Chains A and B, each alone.
Chain A
Amino acid sequence: MLTAIILVPVVGALFVALVPANRKELHLPLGIALSIMPLAIAGYLFWVFAPEPGFQFAVDVPWYEPWGLSWSLGIDGISMPMVVLTAILVPIALGASGSISVRTKEFIVYTLLLEAGMFGAFMARDLFLFFVFFEVILVPMYFIIGIWGGERRVYASMKFFIYTAFGSALLLAAIIGLAAMHTSEFGAPSFALADLATVSMSGGTEKWFFAAFALAFAIKVPLFPLHTWLPDAHVEAPTAGSILLAGVLLKLGTYGLMRFNLSLFPQASVDAVDVLGILAVIGIIYGAVVAIVQPDLKKLVAYTSVSHLGFIVLGTFALTSGSLQGAVIQNVNHGLTTGALFLLVGLLYERRHTKKISDFGGLQKVTPIFAGFFLFMIFASIGLPGLNGFVGEFLILIGSYATVPVLAIVAAFGVLLAAVYFLWAYERVFTGEPDREENRAMKDLSIKEIGLLAPLAILVLVLGLYPNVLLDKIAPSTEATLDHVEAATGYVTPAPGRLADVFVVGEAGE
């Protein structure tokens, strides 16, 4: 099943590649249709996924035994939400690509390959396999930005590629190093996550390994001060690229930190709480402060990602039940809302060929439905309770206090700044009298565009009011991760950091 969800987009990409390049009208519908298939599989996986710890739907095919490589896949409560998120966002990103007019075939091919890579990265239980997918993702994204991007696309794509490839190099070295240590300890090499977690190493060695992994993922997140590739990449990327970049690719960083750093280097993780926590909180505040005055709407949204992803890193390293659950669900939440916001900015750009905030004004009067969706999504992003963003951020904030009280307090101000940057932007773009002719002539959302946004809006609402559809399935895995960290290090989560500390109220009146 898991192999299938990777192969479907790959085979789909090959299939699209066979379609003649001049049958442009076929490419996009075909691509969308093909991306619906993994969505169906992901829906099934979500439905069948049991709220238990450990990997489910595991696949283990030995690959090259002398090296201990295996095609080893599986999903648990931490990765399953990411797989589902990817499967949801790809059709929407393709659906938002109607304005791509050159080399449409290649665009679809790259997007589908990108999807396969993302699935693989989230499901890999073998580090080498993970690395392969992690790298594979870079290439189609590089082309998507570099071919279909804006004016400075070459600069942006090059920066994106080199910056992240630099992190990857470190990651590869560390992975090979780990496998080598496994060889010397157990006599045979292995890249399996479960095996490498048993490698014994000195505290100093662990720190170096941790640092290599953390740096690679921190670039991806991106964590302050490694974030400057992101605004450039976003501003230049086509809409689909931005949706997938913010929605999924950044999550490889946060996912990697939680999946690999916590389980492979628990002691170093516990020791790194302060360093990574401080960087995360700087990112939260700094990203928000810088976002406030951005003149370009897309760049503004890009900087908000720096701020929001900081919450996830904070939650990950605060190491409590609440904060970890919050971090996982916030991965999904941010993907949905920021994906939707990039989609909206893209639609705005298609209509007006500008992203400069000062070029707009008064759009709510002209395009009320557009304004309604935009307002809905920024409030989700601001963390309005009842919508999804709140659930993640609140779990992270309340949960983190037990371990890192000062950082949690500072992070709480990020929620205030979110209201400042988004509401000010909304005021300038949508309110007032539409005084420019181009703005007065702008068309409201079409049925098709509403069709792209409505599923995201519904998910935002469902996850806001009934997050248990996900939290139930996330919790056993995050608990297992915490158990693992505690068992491996002797670290004890301060009360009330664990679920067992939560005071359960008798459900009187039921």
Chain B
Amino acid sequence: MTSLIWLVIAIPLVIAVVLHFFGRFLGEPLAGWLASLAVGAAFVVGLLAALPFFAGEAAAETIHLWDWMPAIGANLEIQWDQLSAVMVLVVTGVGTLIHVFSIGYLHGDERFHRLFVYLNLFIASMLTLVLAGNYAMLFLGWELVGFCSYLLVGFWFVRPTAAAAAKKAFVVNRIGDVGFTIGLMLVFTSFGTLSFSGIFERAPEVLTTGMATAIGLLLLAGAVGKSAQIPLYVWLPDAMEGPTPVSALIHAATMVTAGVYLIARSAAIFELAPAASLTVAIIGTATAIWAATIALAQRDIKKVLAYSTVSQLGYMFLAVGSTAYVAGIFHLMTHAFFKALLFLGAGSVIHAMSDEQDMHKMGGLFKKMPITAITMGIATLAIAGIPPLAGFWSKDEILGSVFERGGVFSILFVIALITSLLTAFYMARQWVLVFLGEPRWDEGVSPHESPGVMTIPLVALAILSFLGGLVNTPFMTSFEHFLEPVFEGLSLQHPPEGLTMFVVLAGLSVLAAVAGGGVAYLSYRRPQASWEKFEDGFEPLWGTWEEAYRVDDVYGAAIVAPGKRLSEWAAFEFDLPIVDGAVNGVARLFAGVGEKMRPLQSGYVRNYSALLLAGTVVVVVWLLAVGA
């Protein structure tokens, strides 16, 4: 089965091509089912190929597909190990559920089949990214998911905001990619290849600390773009312009975690660069709390989740930056479950509320849509870190590992703990605002529970969000055990040993969650006037958070506007008058001289060139004649 692992990329890719040309004829809902089936089939293939890993008997393999750019040691080759297996299963598993959900969500859209073309192309690209056996192929997947994101964020391109958001997402990502590319230059120059198998084993003997740090920081630049960390996170909230299942798949569960994957995959390099790792952890922590504060005050149901995703990705960065790679990947997985669920639930709500996204205009939806309410409730508890749900175990493992690391990391631990409290607050606030209290709906809105094609994926994800954390508890570390071979020989950060420490740390984090969630519940359970007063009590902070610290305005004034002015200056005040002006000046000079000799010449260039052509022909003919 391992030798057929390329099928997981090929199946969705082929179906994407088929749907591109024939999807229109398949129409709704068949195109959607075919696409879902493709991702489901990829999941099955991935599962079968991963079976030997579960049995603990197989070793990592590199499968060569074909030569791509051999001059820089970059071919298309698949790295099949436990880490890529986890990523494949998460991507295709969650991906299948989201595909099915989309069939219901996109019902009636005139470009129904088009969405599934893009979604399947995305899945194939994401799998290329996680299965890559070298950095060039990883970059192939990395850029292709960005391209799919561009297509999907701009899916409703008629809306100018959607088109602008799509462009912004791609361009901001490219800023990080410049760093990534430069990092790859250094990798190639150091190792003479971009292939993982030629890099990681030789890293300790090849890289100096300085070089490893440089490479680490440059890879981090790429990761910061893709995974929406400070300072490049600004594209992700805007990306919510895409259809909600897209947000669930790309901007929550899979693509945005690619940066975490990249760092975990490059663990052997970061092992040699503690300063780079520390930077990863600091950026992650800063992003976690920064985005969490913004999430507190958002009114748009999707914006809360967007900033929450940025914040949770910060947790994952903190984990991999603390060399707790397994904890990072573990949280990546559980987050994929509960955040996909939250987005799909939000989609279900938006669907029911006739495209309303403002939570101030919701409320009291529990009775109208109980399945959505309960499943989202489970996800809310999971992300808040309430045991025994999935988020509790993974977040706790991160907190524990950071705590155990000590030193500077103790500060990061405290910040992460506070973030935990904020997370519980904004999530509880969202759930209560949407589902409890008195209805604040606009007139004419009559909410209803979504159809089965949408609720069944919700239920499936709810089960995963509930139980998914049990694969790795302090009492049974099977996930950790599973991933260990990937990080063999590297120093892997673990949480502290022993039940007492576990209880103390878990107690702290649960306390934070309960405190944050409790305050939110008690505040927002009350009538609107009351919680509006509560929010006003935090002014001017609350307004600052609601406006997301106005970072977009700052970037606009500091980077975009001056950039445009520079470009205009170069084009209209330098290139035209000066560079071209010099050329024309020289021409005029000659023309002036020529004017005096005008009687000798006709002055028509076309006459000269015709003469030139004739002359050339004569010379050629003459030479041919002489030569022969």
Please report A residues at the B interface, Cβ cutoff 8 Å: 61-65, 69-71, 132, 135-136, 138-139, 142-143, 146, 157-159, 161-163, 225, 227-229, 286, 289-290, 292-294, 321-322, 325-326, 362, 364-365, 379, 384-386, 390-391, 394-395, 397-399, 401-402, 405, 408-409, 412-413, 415-416, 419-420, 423-424, 426-427, 430-433, 465-468, 471, 475, 495-496, 499, 501-510
Contacts and interface: CB of A to CB of B under 8 A. Distances in A.
A401 B178 contact: no
B193 A64 contact: no
Contact of A398 (B150, B160, B188): B188
A417 to B, nearest CB: 9
13 contacts: A135-B616, A139-B610, A139-B613, A293-B571, A415-B174, A415-B181, A426-B167, A432-B163, A468-B68, A499-B70, A505-B77, A506-B197, A508-B61
B623 interface: yes
Contacts of A495: 192
Contacts of A412: 178, 181-182, 185
Contacts of A71: 624, 627
From B3, B68, B164, B198, name the one whose CB has the most chain A CB atoms within 10 angstroms.
B68
Contacts of B181: 394, 397, 412, 415
Contacts of A475: 71
Given A289-B566, A401-B188, A423-B167, 12 more contacts: A70-B627, A142-B605, A159-B587, A162-B587, A289-B567, A293-B568, A391-B69, A398-B194, A412-B182, A419-B171, A420-B171, A502-B70
Given A289-B567, A385-B143, A427-B167, A63 B623 contact: yes
B143 A431 contact: no
Nearest to A510: B64
B62 A508 contact: yes
A401 B73 CA distance: 15
B185 A397 contact: yes
A492 to B, nearest CB: 15
A415 B177 contact: yes
B69 A395 contact: yes
A104 B440 CA distance: 70
B68 to A, nearest CB: 7
Instruction: List 5 A-B pairs, minimum CB-CB distance, nearest first.
Output: A431-B163, A496-B192, A63-B627, A503-B193, A228-B580
Nearest to B611: A139
B247 interface: no
A483 B318 CA distance: 49
A394 B71 contact: no
Nearest to B151: A375
Interface string B167-197: 1001100110110011011101101111101
B490 interface: no
B192 A379 contact: no
B445 interface: no
Nearest to B581: A228
Contacts of B476: none
A250 to B, nearest CB: 17
A64 B564 contact: no
A203 to B, nearest CB: 30
A64 B154 CA distance: 64
Contacts of B162: 431
A467 B69 CA distance: 7
B70 to A, nearest CB: 7
Contacts of A292: 564, 567, 571
Contacts, number: 219
A64 B194 CA distance: 53
A390 to B, nearest CB: 8
Contact of B67 (A63, A146, A468): A468
Contacts of A391: 68-69
Interface of B: 2-3, 61-64, 66-73, 77, 136, 139-140, 142-144, 147, 150, 154, 157-160, 162-164, 167, 170-171, 174-175, 177-178, 181-182, 184-186, 188-189, 191-195, 197-198, 564, 566-568, 570-572, 575, 579-580, 583, 587, 605-606, 609-610, 612-613, 616, 619-620, 623-624, 626-627
A65 B623 CA distance: 10
Nearest to B614: A139
B62 A505 contact: yes
Contacts of A424: 167
B583 A386 contact: no
Nearest to A65: B627
State the majority secondary structure of interface residues on A.
Answer: helix
B105 to A, nearest CB: 21
A501 B192 contact: yes
Given A385-B144, A415-B174, A415-B177, A362 B158 contact: yes
A150 B376 CA distance: 62
A399 to B, nearest CB: 6
Contacts of B174: 415-416, 419
From B66, B181, B185, name the one whose CB has the most chain A CB atoms within 10 angstroms.
B181
A139 B170 CA distance: 43
B612 A427 contact: no
A290 B610 CA distance: 35
B620 A62 contact: no
A394 B136 contact: yes
Contacts of B175: 416
A415 B158 contact: no
A127 to B, nearest CB: 14
From B71, B154, B186, name the one whose CB has the most chain A CB atoms within 10 angstroms.
B71
A467 B136 CA distance: 14
A339 B378 CA distance: 55
Given A143-B606, A146-B606, A419-B174, A398 B72 contact: yes
Contacts of A509: 2-3, 61-64
A159 B144 CA distance: 42
From B142, B182, B198, name the one whose CB has the most chain A CB atoms within 10 angstroms.
B182
A510 B580 contact: no
Contacts of A228: 575, 579-580, 583
Contacts of A505: 62, 73, 77, 193, 195, 197-198
Given A225-B579, A401-B186, A423-B171, A503 B568 contact: no
A157 to B, nearest CB: 8
B619 A132 contact: yes
A50 B624 CA distance: 30
Contact of A62 (B159, B610, B613, B627): B627
B69 A401 contact: no
A325 B197 contact: no
Contact of B189 (A139, A402, A465): A402
A138 B605 CA distance: 12
Contact of A386 (B144, B154, B163): B144
B583 A163 contact: yes
Contacts of A506: 197
A190 B176 CA distance: 54
A401 B183 CA distance: 11
Contacts of B72: 322, 394-395, 398-399, 502
From A132, A162, A423, A433, name the one whose CB has the most chain B CB atoms within 10 angstroms.
A423
Contacts of A397: 181, 185
Contacts of B566: 289
B590 to A, nearest CB: 9
A161 B609 contact: yes
Contacts of B3: 509
A503 B64 contact: no
From B62, B67, B163, B566, name the one whose CB has the most chain A CB atoms within 10 angstroms.
B163
Contacts of A408: 182, 185
B75 to A, nearest CB: 8
B19 to A, nearest CB: 14
Given A229-B583, A395-B72, A290 B570 contact: yes
Nearest to A128: B623
B185 A61 contact: no
A228 B63 CA distance: 49
Contacts of A405: 185, 189
Contacts of A432: 157-160, 163
A303 to B, nearest CB: 8
